[in-house]
Structure 1
Amino acid sequence: MTSASEDSALDTAPDLTPAAEVEWQALPARARPLFLLDTSISLGVLFGVAGVVSGTLGLGMAAGIAAGATGALLGIATGIWIGTKQFNHCYWRLDEHGLAVRRGRLWQRETRVPITRVQHLDIKHGPWQRRRKLATLVVHTAGTRHSSVNVPHLDADDAQRLRDRLGRQIDLDDDA
């Protein structure tokens, strides 16, 4: 059993384990609807407007409205499919080198943020995220191109923990 002083020492020490030992973390299941909403609304509006414009130009107003409604439904269905894929293939991990985010399945993209490049950290809570106890961690990095990395729809406690650990490591690097 550990004493209170040992527990507080564990809380303040950065828990950065070697990359080989750290598992990729999936997003919480309650983030799935937000991925679906993001993509289905965007594609529904885009496909709906495209349907209205193409139908109106070719056949008249009534055909344009029917084409718009069909396009919107097709866009929503496509958005749900894409949102599900995005949710299922989005992972993060924190190790001794920094934060890594992996997205995609066919075209997999892994973004690594070394601790030495982290400038500051933000946590964003949108209204839907607050309702589901989620947050977006924004890691601002040194440099001009792609100077921030977003980890969307994290568990709010995980986002806070990541921000605190990366922040402590920044402070330790500054003191050295």
Structure 2
Amino acid sequence: MTREPDDLSAPVAPADADPLPEGWQPLPKAARRLFVLGNVLGMGALALGLLVPIGLLVDHKPLALALALLVLVLLPAWGAWLAFRQYAATRWRLDGDGYALRRGRLWQQETFVPKSRVQHLDLQRGPIERRFGLSTLVIHTAGTRSNAVSTPGLDAGDAEALRDRLARWIEHDDLD
């Protein structure tokens, strides 16, 4: 809506040129690689850390070697499997009321941020995210408990569009 010169007291709604996507949106396919890389590296580090106790506690060398190899293979493989599941179970939604993030299958978590509670926004891009063309959108909210909602693995363009849309909401609320 545009403001006419004689109607200076009317509030101006933010101009939303692009329509909001309908429903829950999945993360881009590149985010799957980010999830897998993070989980495999984490589980690989855990597997390497378990090699010392295996070597110290298991007296029978062939059994210790077999157990060590099993740990080195199974833990990173389990991490990769978990990453695929986490990727598939992560969705976001932006509608006229605010931003929502849904994660998890077994332990489901849904976080909703009403647009009136958004304080400021950050985009974070680590080196691995930049390599895959991804960003993390961080929405800081008013309140003390869970005062920031972080959405990793967003396409860089989508993250910027979400940030800009939420920023227009903040500006519009400041005008009221």
Change (3 A) 1:16 1:112: farther
| Superposition TM-score, scaled by structure 1 size | 0.83
Q: What letter is aligned with 2:114? A: P
Contact persistence 1:89–1:103 (CA under 8 A) = yes
Deviation larger for 50-59 or 77-86 = 50-59
Residue 13 of structure 1: how far off its partner (Å): 3.0
**Number of residue pairs matched by the alignment:** 164
- Measure, in 2, the Cα distance between the counterparts of 1:90 and 1:149: 13
Which residues in structure 2 correspond to 1:24-35 (within 5 Å)?
Answer: 24-35=24-35
Higher helix share: 1
Q: Which residue of 2 aligns with 1:12?
A: 15
Contact (CA 8 Å) 1:52, 1:66: kept in 2 or not? no
Matched AA of 2:34 = L
Unaligned runs of 5+ in 1: 1-9
Give the distance between the partners of 1:66 and 1:56, measured in 2 at CA: 14
Runs of 4+ displaced beyond 4 Å: 14-17, 60-66
Corresponding position: 1:150 with 2:144: no
Counterparts of 2:103 and 2:125 in 1: how far apart (Å)? Answer: 21
Q: What TM-score, normalized by structure 2, do the two folds share? A: 0.83
> Does residue 171 of structure 2 align to residue 168 of structure 1?
no
- Corresponding residue for 1:23? 23
Q: Which amino acid aligns with 1:13?
A: D
Q: Is 1:75 the equivalent of 2:75?
A: yes
Contact 1:137 1:152 in 2 (8 A): yes
Structure 2 gaps of 5+ residues are: 1-12
Asked which structure has the greater CA Rg, the reply is 2
Cα displacement (A) at 1:66: 5.5
What one-letter code is carried by the residue in structure 1 that aligns with 2:15?
Answer: T
Tell me how far 1:107 sits from its aligned partner.
Answer: 2.5
Secondary structure class of the residue paired with 1:59:
coil
In structure 2, the CA distance between the partners of 1:96 and 1:141, relative to structure 1 (3 Å rule), is same
3-state DSSP of counterpart to 2:58: helix
Alignment of 1:15-164 (within 5 A): 22-59=22-59, 67-164=67-164
Choose 78-87 or 62-71, whichever is displaced more.
Answer: 62-71
Cα root mean square deviation, aligned: 2.4
- How far off is 1:67 after superposition? 3.7
Query: Deviation per CA, 1:26-68, whole angstroms, max 9, x where unpaired?
Result: 0111111110011111112113312431332232788656644
